[in-house]
Every structure is written in C-alpha cells, then in structure tokens.
Amino acid sequence: MQVNLEDLNPGTWFEMEDGGRICLRVCAGDDYRAIRKAATKKKVDYPKTGGRFPYEETDEELQSQLLWDFCIVDWENLLDKDKKPIPCTKEFKLLLMGKSVAFSKFVTDKFTELADMVSAQDEDRLKNS
C-alpha cells in the first residue's frame, strides 16, 4: 500500500449526470476530532443544591457546516442557471447542501458509496495481512 504523506485524505471524484463532477472525502480521526472541538464548548453548572457539574454543549449546526466544508473537497463543471461556474466555496457548499435537494441527495448517496468502498478496502487489507 502506498501512502502520500503530503495528502493523506485527498478525496474521491464522482461523476454527475450532467457532466459535472465532485470530489468527496471521509472525515475521520484527527480531522473529525478537530471539527467536533471547534463546535463544542465546555460549560459548568452550579445548581442551587450545590456541586459543580461540567458538561459539553455542541453547536450541531456549526458542526454540520464544518463537516460539509471539509468533506466536499472540490467540484468541476457545476454551473448556475446562466451556465456560469459556481465556485467551490464554503458558502456555496452550505447553500447547495441546505437548499438543493438534488445536490444534497447526490452528495449523501455518494458518501454511502464512499463508505462502502472504504469498508471493502479495509476488508481486502485484512485478508492480505
């Protein structure tokens, strides 16, 4: 197995029906922990009955936004109604995931495929070791 130490999680390209394509990657390990940490705040309650109760509060919306921005790496030939390229920015990633049923469905379907591919690769590695 070859490992590119300069780009450990480059993503996988998926072709779209209309000629565009999108690059997606799985978020795991250190990247997931960093996103979770960015979206979570440590808090402490001091009830009237006494005691100190620390807990974490996660901003689910922020976590989701950070995950989509991380997992959608790039796209090509994604055009607006005037056939102008839509730049692959965090703003457009979140807009499309939040408002476009077709885009959101395509991305989530491809993540299922990507998860299956990763599982199959892991099984192959285990068999060959």
pTM of the model: 0.79
Please state, in angstroms and rounded to a whole number, the distance separating the CA atoms of residues 97 and 4.
Answer: 30
Confidence of residue 75 (pLDDT cuts 50, 70, 90): very high
Residue 31 resides in a domain: yes
Q: Which domain holds residue 88?
A: 13-123
CA 10 to chain CA centroid, Å, is 12
Give the total number of structural domains in the chain: 1
Query: DSSP letter at 64?
Result: H
Is residue 65 predicted with pLDDT exceeding 70?
yes
Residue 7 resides in a domain: no
Element housing 76 (H / E) = strand 72-76
Q: Per-residue pLDDT averaged across 50-59, rounded?
A: 89
Residue 68 resides in a domain: yes
Residue 5 resides in a domain: no
Residue whose pair of structure tokens reads 């001091």 in the numeric block = 46
